[in-house]
Amino acid sequence: MVTYPTGKIYIGKDSVGSYRYFGSPDIAVVNRDFENLSEAVKRDYTVRKQILWESLNCSEAELAQKEVEMIRKHKSNNPKIGYNRWPKWCE
Q: What is the pLDDT of residue 46?
A: 98
- The span from the CA of 37 to the CA of 5, in Å, is 8
Q: What is the pLDDT of residue 23?
A: 87
Per-residue tens of pLDDT for the chain, all 91 residues: 999 999 999 999 998 888 888 889 999 999 999 999 999 999 999 999 999 999 999 999 999 999 999 999 999 999 999 999 999 998 7
Q: What is the pLDDT of residue 79?
A: 98
Q: What is the pLDDT of residue 18?
A: 86
On the 0-12 / 13-18 / 19+ scale of CB atoms within 10 A, 72 is: middle
Which residues contact residue 33 at a Cβ distance below 8 angstroms, ignoring those fewer than 6 apart?
Answer: 4, 6, 8
User: The whole model's pTM is what?
Assistant: 0.92
Q: What is the pLDDT of residue 39?
A: 98
- The span from the CA of 5 to the CA of 24, in Å, is 16
